[in-house]
């Protein structure tokens, strides 16, 4: 069975790309390049699915918003 997951990608202060899968609790990884990041997040998803099994309920992706707050 093929499943699709949303992956959020950000870059941290040290230049690493960080990938997070909101549907899978604790599913994240980091890498210096986007190619390596995508390989690693695929592996992380597969590992999370092994642990979680079929208990994951799919979420509908709506969008991303950026909000600025003065502090």
Report whether 56 contacts 24 (CB < 8 A).
Answer: yes
Q: What global pTM score does this model have?
A: 0.82
Q: What does the alpha-carbon distance between residue 71 and residue 66 come to, in Å, rounded to a whole number?
A: 16
> Which residues on adjacent β-strands are paired with residue 29?
19
Which pLDDT value is given to residue 70? 93
Fold of 8-52: Double Stranded RNA Binding Domain (3.30.160)
* Residue 37 in tokens: 């990041």
Are the C-beta atoms of 48 and 30 separated by less than 8 Å?
no
Taking only the tens place, the pLDDT of each residue in 12-22 is: 999 999 999 99
State the Cα angle at 22 between 27 and 34, rounded to 5°: 65
- The residues spanned by each domain of the chain are 8-52
Confidence of residue 54 (pLDDT cuts 50, 70, 90): low
């Amino acid at each position: 069975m093929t499943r699709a997951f949303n992956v959020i990608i950000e870059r941290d202060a040290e230049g690493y790309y960080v990938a997070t899968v909101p549907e899978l609790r604790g599913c994240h990884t980091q890498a210096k390049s986007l190619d390596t990041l995508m390989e690693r997040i695929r592996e992380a998803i597969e590992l999370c699915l092994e642990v979680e099994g079929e208990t994951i309920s799919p979420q509908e992706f709506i969008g991303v918003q950026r909000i600025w707050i003065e502090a």
